[in-house]
Every structure is written in structure tokens, then in C-alpha cells.
């Protein structure tokens, strides 16, 4: 809520940098939406404004991708156009949803939907990328084992569930912050409910499922390949994800750890999704692992 209005920020396309640039009664003007609880903070204001600028820039890039994909209409790669079109429509809807996050005064459900839609957009763009540069990226069906494919779908599903539960924890944190204030960070974790403990324990299941998936992939191939590498990246990201969770739980929820924790989760989902693409593509003939690794390099 660094910007209490949308699409402008404090009534301007370029927000202020100091309170003197605002009218004296700005709290009355903009506080009507926030029950009078609006306080200008230049850092929060510009973080939110840069977020909006990046969102708009992303929309422009996705529109450019859509234009570049028009040539595929009616061809064997027409799915690239339709996927690009879907990404463009979704990013527009995401902008609208962002306005609702503001107008709803950060309603927890709106924040969760806003984040989940962002993940969906990332998945669609990864699909376009993978199918546009399959040869260069080594995205080929590298395994015909249904077990591995099902396991990859399972770890993606578990990760999504874990992210959604994480949003519930964040909602609980919001409630605790409203009660105790920002100065009582050391007491936040103690006041969290059952959702926090479920989220923390569920990470063990996510880790074990990814370890098992990595083991099966490793067992299926004697040499290194793109799927092996992606599975390794997934384990590394899970390790970092758990580490940032520990830092938040035992070091009074430092502010830097919160966005880092979420970013790692999105990266993990992206890696897992590309793993699934690598065993689901049917455009190219199946190749041996050494050939795939060569293409990847």
C-alpha cells in the first residue's frame, strides 16, 4: 500500500519523494480508502511504483512476443501463438487484479490470487520459450518412463500446495503484525497458528519427493543429462528455500528473507515445470541422454 491509489500513485504518474510534495490533508484525501491509516513512506511508495513499472514493462515484452508469434498461425507451431496470446491476456488480467489488491486494502485472498496468477504466467512463458528453442535448450523427451513423468507432476503439485500454504502463513503474519506491530518481530513466530507448523512440516515431504525423483532420474541414466541437472537445481533451491525459512523462524523474520523465500519458491516451480516439459515434448524424436546434453551445452 505504498501507493494508496491505482494506476496513479498519490494522484501522480511520478510519485513524490518527500511528504512536502503532498497536500497537507493527503491523509484525508487518500486515507478514505484505508480507514484513515495512510502514512507516506518514500521507500514503500517507490518499491510499489517500481513494481508497477516492471509489471507494465513485462506486459510490453509479452505483447512483443505475441507479435513475433503471429507468423506461426496455421502452422505446426501455432501453439506458440496461442500460448503467447494467453500470456498477453493473463498479464492484462494481472494488472487489473493488482488494482483490486489496492482497492481491497490488501485483502488476503486477492494477494494470493495475484501471486498464483503470476506463477501461471511464468509457466505459460516457459512453455513458449521451451517450444521455441527446444534444440538449443535440450528440451526433448529424454525418458519414456511414466513413473518419472508422474513424479515430476507430483513434485510440481506439492510445491504449488506448499506455496499456497505459505500465503496462509503470510496472512497469519499480517494479523500478528496488526496486533503487535513491526517492533515486535521477535514475537511474531510465537503467535502464528497451525498453518505455520503445517507449512514447516510439509517442506519435509516436498524435499523427500524431490530427492526420490532425483534418485529415479539418476538411476535411469548412467551419464549426465539436462533432466539430471534440473533435478539437481531443484534440490539446491529446496535447500536454500528451507534455509530462508529457518532464518525467518529463528531470527525474528528479517525483512530481506521474506521476498527471498518467495522468489526461491517461484524459481523452484519454474525448474520443475521445465523438467516436466523435458519429458513431455513430442515435437522432436527421442534422443539419448548424451545427445541431449550436447544440445544443452
At a CB cut-off of 8 Å and minimum separation 6, what does 193 contact? 172
Instruction: Place 227 in a pLDDT band, splitting at 50, 70 and 90.
Output: confident
Can you list the positions of beta strands (E) in 44-155?
A: none
Please tell me the predicted confidence (pLDDT) of residue 128: 92
pLDDT digits (tens, 9 = 90+) for 62-89: 999 999 999 999 988 899 999 999 999 9
pLDDT digits (tens, 9 = 90+) for 182-213: 888 888 888 888 889 999 999 999 999 999 99
pLDDT at 280 > cutoff 70: yes
Please tell me the predicted confidence (pLDDT) of residue 223: 56
pTM above 0.85, yes or no: no
Q: Distance between CA 52 and CA 8 in Å, rounded?
A: 10
Question: Looking at residues 263-285, what average pLDDT do you find?
Answer: 81
Q: How far is the CA of 159 from the CAs of 169, 207, 208, 275, in angstroms?
A: 15, 10, 12, 14
Please tell me the predicted confidence (pLDDT) of residue 198: 93
Q: Residue 12's beta-bridge partner residues? A: 9
Q: Distance between CA 79 and CA 89 in Å, rounded?
A: 15
Please tell me the predicted confidence (pLDDT) of residue 247: 94
At a CB cut-off of 8 Å and minimum separation 6, what does 81 contact? 66, 69, 70, 72, 73
Please tell me the predicted confidence (pLDDT) of residue 287: 43
Please tell me the predicted confidence (pLDDT) of residue 123: 92
Radius of gyration of the chain (CA): 22
pLDDT at 45 > cutoff 70: yes
Q: Distance between CA 123 and CA 14 in Å, rounded?
A: 32
pLDDT at 137 > cutoff 90: no
Q: Distance between CA 195 and CA 172 in Å, rounded?
A: 8
Question: Looking at residues 223-241, what average pLDDT do you find?
Answer: 88
Please tell me the predicted confidence (pLDDT) of residue 84: 96
Average pLDDT of the chain is 84
Q: Angle at Cα 180 formed by Cα 179 and Cα 184, nearest 5°?
A: 160
**In which element (H, E) is residue 211 found?**
helix 194-220
pLDDT digits (tens, 9 = 90+) for 7-40: 888 888 999 999 889 888 888 887 766 655 678 8
pLDDT at 145 > cutoff 50: yes
Q: When comparing pLDDT for 123 and 139, which is higher?
A: 123
Amino acid at each position: 500500500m505504498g501507493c494508496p491509489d491505482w494506476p496513479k500513485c498519490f494522484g501522480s504518474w511520478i510519485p513524490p519523494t518527500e511528504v512536502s510534495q503532498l497536500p497537507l490533508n493527503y491523509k484525508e484525501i487518500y486515507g478514505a480508502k484505508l480507514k484513515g491509516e495512510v502514512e507516506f513512506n518514500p521507500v514503500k511508495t517507490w518499491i510499489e511504483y517500481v513494481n508497477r513499472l516492471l509489471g507494465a514493462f513485462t506486459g510490453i515484452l509479452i505483447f512483443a512476443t505475441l507479435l513475433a508469434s503471429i507468423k506461426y498461425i496455421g502452422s505446426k507451431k501455432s501453439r506458440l501463438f496461442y500460448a503467447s496470446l494467453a500470456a498477453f491476456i493473463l498479464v492484462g488480467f494481472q494488472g487489473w487484479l493488482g488494482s483490486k489488491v489496492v482497492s481491497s486494502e490488501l485483502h488476503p485472498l486477492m494477494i494470493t490470487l495475484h501471486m498464483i496468477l503470476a506463477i501461471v504466467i511464468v509457466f505459460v512463458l516457459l512453455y513458449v520459450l521451451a517450444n521455441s528453442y527446444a534444440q538449443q535448450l535440450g528440451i526433448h523427451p529424454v525418458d519414456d518412463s511414466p513413473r518419472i513423468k508422474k513424479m515430476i507432476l507430483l513434485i510440481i503439485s506439492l510445491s504449488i500446495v506448499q506455496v499456497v500454504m505459505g500465503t496462509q502463513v503470510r496472512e497469519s503474519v499480517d494479523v500478528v503484525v496488526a496486533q503487535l506491530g513491526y517492533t515486535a518481530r521477535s514475537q511474531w513466530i510465537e503467535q502464528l497458528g497451525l498453518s505455520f507448523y503445517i507449512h514447516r512440516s510439509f517442506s519435509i515431504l516436498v524435499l523427500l519427493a524431490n530427492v526420490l525423483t532425483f534418485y529415479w532420474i539418476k538411476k535411469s541414466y548412467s551419464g549426465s543429462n539436462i533432466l539430471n541437472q534440473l533435478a539437481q537445481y531443484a534440490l539446491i533451491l529446496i535447500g536454500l528455500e528451507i534455509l530462508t525459512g529457518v532464518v525467518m523462524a529463528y531470527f525474528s523474520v528479517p525483512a530481506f528473507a521474506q521476498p527471498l523465500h518467495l522468489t526461491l519458491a517461484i524459481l523452484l516451480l519454474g525448474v520443475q515445470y521445465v523438467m516436466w516439459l523435458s519429458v513431455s515434448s513430442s515435437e522432436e524424436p527421442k534422443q539419448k541422454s548424451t545427445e541431449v546434453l550436447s544440445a544443452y551445452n
